[in-house]
Amino acid sequence: MARIVVKFGGSSVADARKIYLAARKLIALHKEGNEVIGVLSAQGNTTDALLAKAKQIDPDCHGRELDMLLSTGEICSVSLCALAIRRLKEKAVSLCGWQAGLFTDGTYGSARALCLQNDRIERELKKDNIVLVAGFQGVDENENVTTLGRGGSDTTAVALAAFLKADRCMICTDVDGVYDKDPRKFVDAVKYDRISYNEMLTLCRGGAQVLHDRCVELAKRYQVPIEVCSSFQEIPGTIVH
């Protein structure tokens, strides 16, 4: 039995069909006898839509209330996926960031994940649940909801893998791995089988969107290998190690 964190990006949970595909993938891993923690992003362009809504009210909005609002996108995703898993007759529970105990500093809009402050995920795993944790969010020492910065669900996945001592951390996305340039734009892009943390950080800083740079820093610090792979194609991805 292994403990596996599996993250799905926003395009991989964008509609009901894709939520079901993600649910089935999580169930398959669970049926192999693994403890499964799913981390989800907000569906499609939900975060941008929420941001646009907030800007209609206050064009300069930032800080606590904006983080509170943006955190809701990921909460929708995990509850929908839990509904799908339950409909498929398996056990699942969804948790938002504070319920999962993901403790951060108080920097709204780009908070840093520091530790887990409770054992809720462990308890839910013991009950044989597939545990779905809302990405991109945590809670600070004043019990306020924080967000981890755009693309931050990757960092949630790596933070949970580190703090829960997971055996595997899979980041499932709409590309099937890490390429030397954007495979959606360049036909001659070459996929890496393996890439070091430092090489990956260089790619991130050069503008590669595939992983959040903070997630790579965290993975390097805690020595968590990341498997970047396709959400729905069963082909080998890229190991960041």
Unique residue bearing structure tokens 């887990």: 116
Shortest reach from residue 151's CB to Mg ion, in Å? 4
34/153 with CB nearer ligand ASP: 153
- Decide which of ligand ASP, Mg ion, none touches 12; Cβ closer than 5 to 8 Å per partner kind: none
CB closer to Mg ion out of 93 and 111 = 111
Q: Which of Mg ion, ligand ASP, none does residue 237 bind to, with CB < 5 to 8 Å depending on kind?
A: none
3-state secondary structure of 51: helix
Distance CA 232, CA 208 (A): 21
Q: Is 152 in the site for Mg ion (CB under 5 A)?
A: no
Interface with ligand ASP (CB under 6 A), residue from 38, 152, 177, 237:
152
Q: Does 151 bind Mg ion (CB under 5 A)?
A: yes
Helix (H) or strand (E) holding 99: helix 97-100
Within 10 Å of residue 57's Cβ, how many Cβ atoms?
9
**Choice between 94 and 153, CB closer to ligand ASP:** 153
**What is the spatial distance between Cα 36 and Cα 181, in angstroms, rounded to a whole number?**
31
Count of residues near ligand ASP by CB under 6 A: 11
d(CA 233, CA 119): 33
Instruction: Give the separation between CA 231 and CA 171, rounded to whole angstroms.
Output: 8
Is the alpha carbon torsion for 199, 203, 206, 211 positive or negative?
A: negative
- Rounded Cα distance, 237 and 225, in Å: 13
241 binds ligand ASP (CB under 6 A): no
Sheet-wide strand order for 113-116 = 113-116, 102-104, 137-139, 145-147
The residue within the footprint of ligand ASP, chosen from 71, 129, 153, 231 (CB under 6 A), is 153
3-class DSSP state for residue 49?
helix
Q: How far is the CB of 208 from Mg ion (least distance, A)?
A: 10
* Window 37 to 56, contacts with ligand ASP (CB under 6 A): 41-42, 47
Q: How many chain residues bind Mg ion (CB under 5 A)?
A: 1
Q: What mask of x and - would describe binding to ligand ASP in positions 112 to 151, judged by CB under 6 A?
A: -----------------------xx-------------xx
Residue type, position 223, single letter: Q
The DSSP symbol for 179 reads: B
Is the Cβ of residue 47 or residue 238 nearer to ligand ASP in the bound state?
47
Q: Which is nearer to ligand ASP, 150 or 168 (CB)?
A: 150
Interface with ligand ASP includes 238 (CB under 6 A)?
no
Residue 9 backbone zone (phi > 0: left; psi -120 to 50: alpha; other: beta): beta
Q: Which residues bind ligand ASP (CB under 6 A)?
A: 10, 41-42, 47, 73, 135-136, 150-153
Enumerate binding residues for Mg ion (CB under 5 A). Answer: 151
